[in-house]
Amino acid sequence: MTRPLNVGVAGLGTVGAGVLTLLRQNADLIAARAGRPIAVTAVAARDRKRDRGISLDGLRWYDDAAALASDSGVDVVVELIGGSDGPAKALVEAALAAGKPVVTANKALLALHGAALAEQAEANNASLAFEAAVAGGIPAIKGLREGLAANRIARVTGILNGTCNYILTCMRDQGREFADVLAEAQKLGYAEADPSFDIDGVDAAHKLAILAALAFGRPVEFDAVHVEGIRHISALDIKLAEELGYRIKLLGIAAQVDGGISTRVHPCMVPVSHPIAVVDGVYNAVVAEGDFVGRVVLEGRGAGAGPTASAVVADLIDVARGRSTPVWGAGSAALAKTPSVPMAQNRGAYYLRLMVVDRPGVVAEITGVLRDHSISLESMIQRGRAPGEAVPIVLTTHDCQEASMRAALERIAALDSVLETPALIRIETL
C-alpha cells in the first residue's frame, strides 16, 4: 500500500474539527482521488479538555503549534489558528523553513505577509496552499489562478463576507434596521461577539487583496485596499435602492484601470439584473472577467465547517498528488510591479440621500455645489412636503471622480439646511 500522507492540524475549532470529520467520513473517496490515504496524525490546540465532538484518540498533541513543523511524522502542516501574526505566522514560517507543505485558511496572514511567505516557500521548495482562505467552499483560488490562467483579467468582483450579506438581505426582506439585524445575527451565530472585522469590511478586504494578487499577477498589497463597511446603511436606503432598480451589496472590486490596479471594498448599488444581485443570505460569490473566457460566476457558502473543510482537503489532495503551483500564480521574480490607484481617482456614479429642511432654495444650494465640482445629476427624488421640517432628498449622479464627490459632499454637509451627515453609496453597473 502507498504510504499515507500524514497531516498535522493546528487549531481544532469549527474548521479544524470539520477537516478531521471530512477526512474520516470520506476516507475512501479521498484516498482514490489523492492516490494514497490522507490521515491526521498530530494536532495542536490550546485546550486539551474541550469536547470538540470528534475522537482525538491516538493523535500526538502539541500545546505549541510550531512544534508540528519539526515532527518527523508530519508530512504537511494545516494551519487553522487564524490571525495575521503570533502562533499562526510562527507555525507557517517554521513549516516552510523545514521544507514542509503548508495548507492554510488564514486570509489575514496571506493578505499581510503573503509576499514574504511566497518567497520563503519558493526558497525551500515547499508549497503554500490556501483555497480555504477566500470564499470557503467556492473554488475561487484554483478557478482564478489555474482555471483562468490563460486570460488577462479585467476585473474581479465578490461578495466576500457572509455576515454582511446576511444582514443586508434581512434588512431588505424584513425592512429592519442594521443594529436590530446585527443583534439577531449574533444570537444565531452568524456574527461574532465583536463583529467589527466583518461589518467594517476588513475581512472582505483581506480576501480581495488575495484575489487581486492572483488576478493581476502582482505581489499582494493589503494596504492599497480602500475599505468601508455597512454600519451606515439604513433600511430607507435599501428601500430606495429597490425603487431605483438596485440592490445594496458589500462588494470587493479589483479592476485594471488607467494607471494601474484599483482595489476597494464598500457598499454598492448593483442592478437587480446582475448575477451578484441575487446572491443572498450567508452565500458568497466571485465574478471574474477574462479577455477570452468572458464572465465567470462562482457562488456558494463562504464559511462554516463543511465548506471550509472541503477547500482544505482539496488542497491536501493536491499535496498528496505532488501538484504544486506558485503561490501567486507565477514565481516572485515574474510578478508585475503594477501600481495601485488610490480611491480618490476612482470614477463612477453615486447615490446621495440628504435630510434637509423643507424650505425654498435648498435644492438649488445643493445642485449649485455639485455643479461647482463638475458633478451632473441623473435623477432626483423628493417626496411630500413638510415646510420647516426635515425631508429626504435622494440624488443619483452621472460618473464623476471620487475626489470631486468627496469635496462636494464636505461642502454640502456644512450647509445649515442639511440636518444629518449625507449618505453616500456608489452605484456599480458592473
- Name the residues annotated as catalytic: 207
Single out the residue of 181, 183, 184 nearest to residue 168, CA to CA.
181
Helix axes 14-25, 305-321, angle to 10 degrees: 60
One-letter amino acid of 74 = V
Q: What one-letter code names the amino acid at 423? A: A
The C-alpha atoms of residue 86 and residue 83 are separated, in whole angstroms, by 7
334-337 contacts at long range (C-beta below 8 A, 24 or more positions apart):
334/217, 335/217, 335/218, 335/219, 336/216, 336/217, 336/218, 337/218
C-beta of residue 65 within 8 angstroms of C-beta of residue 10: yes
- Residue pair 164/204 in contact (Cβ under 8 Å)? The answer is yes
Cα 364 from Cα 382, distance rounded (Å): 13
Residue with cell 521548495: 125
Give the H/E segment covering residue 29.
helix 27-34
- Tell me the β-bridge partners of 290: 153, 294
Classify 67 as helix, strand or coil. helix
The interaxial angle of helices 14-25 and 27-34, nearest 10 deg, is 80
Give the residue from 398, 397, 385, 396 showing the smallest Cα distance to 356: 385
Collect all residues with Cβ–Cβ distance below 8 Å to 284 and sequence separation of at least 6: 135, 136, 138, 158, 159, 160, 161, 162, 165, 299, 300, 301, 302, 303
> What residues pair up with 349 in beta bridges, in sequence order?
427
CA 299/CA 3 separation, integer angstroms: 36
Strand boundaries in 202-361, DSSP class E: 226-227, 246-257, 260-271, 283-290, 294-301, 347-357
Burial class (CB in 10 A: 0-12, 13-18, 19+), 56: middle
